[in-house]
Amino acid sequence: MARRKGVVTQITENWLKPAPLELKRVIGESLNSFKEHVEVVLADALAASEAGAEAALSAKDRVDLSLPGVIRPVGTHHLIRQVFQEIEDIFFSIGFSVVEGPEIETPYYNFEALNIPEFHPVRDDMDTFYLELPKGAPGPLLLRTHTSPVQIRTMEKRQPPVRVIVPGKVYRRDNPDATHSFMFHQIEGLAVDSDITFCDFTGTIDYFVKQFFGESVKTRFRPSYFRSPSLPWNSTFPASSAAAAARPIPAAPAASARVRAGSNCLVRAWWIPLSMAS
């Protein structure tokens, strides 16, 4: 279709110009029809080419919402959260589940249901944070001093057997220093079932301590007073000179233990045979 040597030029030079006068009109009309046809075909081809290019560009820039998202690093868990997760995994492996409860509690769940009577020293304002409530509001309310109220709430909702651990924050009126804070973290466990004994309790605590601190850790019970009936648990820490000394782990009723697990994090376990609880 070039201007000088294209098909249209050759038809004009070889057919149209030398044709007799009576045929020029027929050849000219046919040539014009041919030109129009070629122009239409070229226009369609150009439009198709441009549409294909636009579609390819659109497909290249299009966001496919069906593709999985890009996982971007967002940091890591806090050290206390890492300790919680490790402790929870250990108890998960032996059939415990995790339960949580409110941090704002009533005196009944925080004290009385746990056999702490009204005039017990820990209920003094110097030890517990009580909330200032508006007039007419039901109360009193306080910030829980331990995670033990969740035990009562769990036993109210569930029938035995019960095996749970309770992680959470607790609050006490302690002066901040290297080993005290007005808020700290606590994990405690509760087991309620028939045919469980003190041996099951000691085996569970011993298993946890060795899974958490290592198989080389040595453990023992020793007589002491924390709450009655109770006894503390000791374990050795061979990692460093500061941790090598036996560290006491106080216990609470019916049989329980505390395990120091890093800064401001402790574990307490409660073991209640149904025969004793009844």
Domain edges within the chain: 7-61, 79-277
* Residue 15 pLDDT: 62
CA dist., res. 201 & res. 253, Å (int)? 12
Mean predicted lDDT score pLDDT of the chain: 76
pLDDT band at 258 (very low <50, low <70, confident <90, very high): very low
pLDDT band at 243 (very low <50, low <70, confident <90, very high): very low
pLDDT at 261 over 90: no
* Residue 127 pLDDT: 82
**Token match 């401001």: residue?**
264
Instruction: Please tell me the pTM assigned to this model.
Output: 0.60
* Residue 274 pLDDT: 44
* Residue 11 pLDDT: 67
C-alpha angle 147/152/158, rounded to 5°?
A: 120
> How is residue 15 annotated by DSSP?
I
pLDDT at 277 over 90: no
Query: 66-121: per-residue pLDDT in tens?
Result: 888 888 888 888 888 888 999 999 999 999 999 999 999 999 999 999 888 888 87
Between residues 201 and 106, the one the model is more confident about: 106
Closest CA relative to residue 235, chosen from 263, 266, 190, 205: 205
Query: What count of other Cβ atoms lies within 10 Å of the Cβ of residue 99?
Result: 19
Closest CA relative to residue 167, chosen from 253, 99, 95, 96: 99
Q: Under CATH, to which class is 79-277 assigned?
A: alpha beta
Helix 79-92 with 198-213: angle, nearest 10 deg: 140
CA dist., res. 144 & res. 259, Å (int)? 20
CA dist., res. 208 & res. 86, Å (int)? 10
Query: 140-163: per-residue pLDDT in tens?
Result: 999 999 899 999 999 999 988 899
Q: Percent of the chain having pLDDT more than 90?
A: 18
Order of strands across the sheet that contains 162-171? 97-98, 162-171, 183-193, 265-273, 256-260
Between residues 242 and 233, the one the model is more confident about: 233
pLDDT band at 25 (very low <50, low <70, confident <90, very high): confident
Report CA 3 to chain centroid distance, whole Å: 74
C-alpha angle 211/79/76, rounded to 5°?
A: 115
pLDDT at 194 over 80: yes
Label residue 193 exposed, middle or buried (CB < 10 Å: 0-12, 13-18, 19+): middle
pLDDT at 246 over 60: no
Between residues 267 and 197, the one the model is more confident about: 197
Query: Which ranges of 62-197 does DSSP label H, i.e. alpha helix?
Result: 79-92, 107-110, 149-157
pLDDT at 205 over 50: yes
> How is residue 123 annotated by DSSP?
G
Cα dihedral 189, 190, 195, 199 in deg (nearest 10): 30
CA dist., res. 7 & res. 106, Å (int)? 100
Report CA 39 to chain centroid distance, whole Å: 66
Q: Percent of the chain having pLDDT more than 70?
A: 72
pLDDT at 264 over 70: no
* Residue 171 pLDDT: 92
